[in-house]
């Protein structure tokens, strides 16, 4: 059984009789499930079970709930979701090349993948491929609802099987895909049957092409490929090799220009000094080359030195249409040469990791209108000039911003809100969703005290069988998180725990730690602040920058990174983006483990101690 294939299209078909889905970038996969362990079969007939153990393991875990629906065959795409409309192909591609079980397992832990299911071909052994698309979709949705599996895509959910939701309105879906920089849209005729291995006009793919400006540097006559480059720190870096998209006349014009003005460096190759700029249509960038490049147009309006690495990144990540960035070149962190455009690009890339912590919380920001270390002010109240898409909630006379969406985050970034501070509870409850211990040494020179306090705390939490997470504060300290199950515990109840832990550490190490609130009375000790964890108080959000001189970020860490070599200076905006790309998000399992915490048992033990 080979997957039904998509036909390329320039335009999204309109009118009745079409359904629309987000197009994700990954490995096409048929899931064949007859016994406890399903088989993941690629488009080329290769078994992918070894490559994607997290999907296989999830299926094994839910086998008892789904076995009465077997034999089952589903059609879908294996993806690494970066948001609900976009997947990162580079992680899938890398996984596909891995051979060693331990390496694959590590990657699956840091970059867990999903199987996005868009069709059902067999259920309980009954063939559905010869039935119209809406009927297959209805059966798929019913199956997933009954088994409590996601019936729409949610990148934050740990369920490795998720059914994609079809839409009738292509404009709304396309706009969401554009905002989130997704790969494109799929249009399917409602009357379409599922045809193995066929490419038909009943299933169309429309790509969300980005247009990148490069200068031409080389032509290879042997394969008729042109090479394009951009400037990175005054050095030309090749980013594209292409030949498609040119008309015969355009190709001949370029050929003649290379031969007349270039330097022949070998039998088939001409090198050209930067002089001609062109627009290249592509679907992304793998770090070295533009993906699926096609010539789009000549650009005679710019000079070759304007084709830069920064312009490439911005063109690959266009801002949503409703975000009008002002003063793009304004210096924000001068020591790192980070301008406003770089900051908004950081927010775009980090949004999948930052937004889950901002979502549904009353937001306080610190704005730096003249850049970091300049004049700044706290802002809780939403200004009158905020655009209509900004959601707010009135609490105690303050119109708080609720930053649930990327557009709101980017609008705040354009307002030079550099710091994002959040309460410990969402707006629908007065109970905290996590405990956060703020470990505050007297200065960055005593950061080792924060490391020691964090490690001793982890030992206590491990003893209580509580999962804990750690991040830098973005300043001179560390912050330790304990996710709480549901919305079960009041601040009064959590205070029993936080006060116990902090006072215990002070008793164990009285020369190192203190709970003294007055700075003048602390001496050179680390302050363990359990008072700060309370209703109305806030904490810096994970992945929020700070308005410090060197552009440091409140950065989630792996516990094995918390050692004597750790320093806050390691975690600048560029460094954090590189960490996320190569090592993933250390907080990825925080929400997963939330419901597994045994905090009630711990409280019971502490209350017994208090009675004694």
CA 32 to each of CA 36, 450, 495: distance values in angstroms, whole numbers, following the listed order: 11, 51, 51
Report d(CA 370, CA 118) in Å as an integer. 48
- Among residues 344, 465, 469, 485, the alpha carbon closest in space to that of 407 is found at 344
Q: Cα 497–500–505 angle (5° rounding)?
A: 130
Task: Read off φ and ψ for residue 362, nearest 5 degrees.
Answer: -75, 115
Report d(CA 594, CA 243) in Å as an integer. 51
* Token pair belonging to 142: 């019913």
Q: Cα 43–46–49 angle (5° rounding)?
A: 110
Element (H, E) at 356: helix 340-358
**What residues contact 427, with CB distance under 8 A and at least 6 apart?**
360, 361, 362, 393, 395, 400, 402
Number of separate helices (H) and strands (E) present in the chain = 15, 35
**What residues contact 470, with CB distance under 8 A and at least 6 apart?**
454, 458, 478, 479, 480, 481, 556, 557, 559, 562
Report d(CA 557, CA 307) in Å as an integer. 36
* Token pair belonging to 40: 């993941």
**What residues contact 357, with CB distance under 8 A and at least 6 apart?**
422, 541, 542, 543
Residue whose tokens read 């247009």:
211
Identified catalytic residue from 23, 86, 122, 471: 23
C-alpha distance across the termini of the chain, in Å? 68
Q: Is 368 exposed, middle or buried (0-12, 13-18, 19+ CB in 10 A)?
A: buried
CA 369 to each of CA 374, 375, 404, 419: distance values in angstroms, whole numbers, following the listed order: 8, 7, 23, 12
* Token pair belonging to 26: 């990954």
**What residues contact 53, with CB distance under 8 A and at least 6 apart?**
104, 105, 108
Report d(CA 290, CA 419) in Å as an integer. 33
- Establish whether 171 is a catalytic residue: no
Question: What is the sign, positive or negative, of the torsion defined by CA atoms of 557, 560, 562, 568?
Answer: negative
Residue numbers annotated as active site: 23
């Amino acid at each position: 059984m080979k997957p039904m294939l998509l036909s390329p299209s320039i335009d999204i078909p309109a009118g009745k009789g079409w359904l629309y889905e987000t197009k994700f970038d990954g490995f096409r996969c048929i899931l064949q499930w007859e016994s406890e362990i399903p088989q993941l079969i690629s488009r080329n007939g290769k078994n992918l079970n070894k490559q994607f153990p997290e999907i296989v393991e999830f299926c094994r875990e839910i086998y008892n709930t789904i076995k009465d629906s077997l034999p089952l065959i589903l059609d879908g795409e294996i993806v690494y979701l970066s948001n609900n409309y976009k997947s990162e192909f580079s992680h899938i591609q890398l996984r596909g090349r891995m051979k060693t079980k331990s390496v694959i397992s590590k990657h699956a832990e840091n970059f867990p993948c999903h199987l996005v299911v868009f069709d059902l071909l067999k259920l309980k052994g009954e063939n559905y491929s010869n039935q119209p698309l809406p009927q297959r979709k209805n059966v798929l949705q019913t199956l997933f609802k009954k088994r409590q599996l996601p019936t729409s895509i949610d990148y934050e959910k740990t369920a490795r099987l998720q059914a994609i939701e079809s839409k009738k309105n292509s404009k709304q879906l396309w706009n969401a895909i554009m905002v989130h920089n997704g790969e494109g849209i799929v249009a399917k005729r409602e009357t379409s049957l599922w045809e193995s291995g066929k490419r038909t006009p009943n299933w169309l793919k429309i790509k969300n092409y980005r247009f990148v400006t490069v200068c031409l540097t080389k032509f290879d006559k042997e394969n008729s490929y042109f090479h394009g480059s951009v400037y990175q720190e005054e050095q030309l870096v090749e980013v594209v090799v292409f030949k498609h998209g040119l008309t015969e006349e355009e190709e001949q014009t370029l050929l003649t220009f290379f031969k007349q003005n270039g330097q022949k460096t070998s039998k088939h190759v001409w090198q050209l000094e930067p002089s001609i700029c062109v627009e290249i249509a592509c679907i992304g960038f793998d770090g070295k080359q533009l993906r699926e490049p096609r010539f789009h147009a000549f650009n005679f309006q710019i000079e070759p030195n304007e084709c830069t690495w920064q312009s490439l990144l911005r063109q690959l990540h266009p801002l949503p249409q409703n975000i009008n960035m002002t003063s793009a070149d304004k210096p924000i962190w001068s020591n790192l040469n980070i301008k406003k455009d770089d900051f908004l690009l950081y927010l775009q890339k980090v949004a999948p990791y930052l937004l889950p912590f901002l979502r549904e919380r009353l937001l306080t920001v610190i704005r730096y209108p003249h850049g970091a270390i300049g004049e700044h002010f706290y802002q809780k109240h939403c200004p009158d000039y905020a655009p209509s898409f900004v959601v707010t909630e009135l609490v105690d006379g303050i119109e708080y911003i609720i930053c649930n969406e990327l557009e709101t985050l980017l609008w705040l970034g354009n307002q030079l809100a550099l710091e994002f501070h959040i309460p410990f509870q969402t707006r629908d409850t007065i109970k905290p969703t996590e405990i956060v211990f703020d470990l505050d040494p007297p200065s960055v020179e005593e950061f080792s005290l924060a490391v020691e306090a964090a490690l001793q705390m982890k030992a206590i939490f491990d003893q209580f069988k509580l999962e804990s997470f750690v991040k830098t504060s973005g300043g001179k300290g560390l912050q330790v998180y304990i996710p709480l199950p549901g919305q079960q515990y009041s601040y009064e109840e959590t205070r029993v725990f936080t006060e116990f832990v902090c006072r215990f550490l002070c008793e164990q190490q009285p020369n190192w730690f203190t709970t003294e609130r007055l700075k003048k009375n602390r001496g050179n000790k680390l302050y363990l602040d359990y008072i700060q964890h309370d209703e109305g108080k806030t904490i810096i959000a994970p992945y929020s920058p700070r308005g410090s001189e060197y552009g440091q970020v409140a950065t989630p860490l792996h516990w094995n990174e918390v050692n004597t070599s750790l320093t806050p200076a390691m975690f600048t905006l560029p460094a954090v983006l590189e960490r996320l790309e190569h090592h993933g998000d250390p907080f990825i399992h925080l929400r997963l483990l939330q419901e597994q915490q045994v905090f009630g048992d711990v409280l019971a033990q502490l209350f017994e101690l208090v009675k004694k």
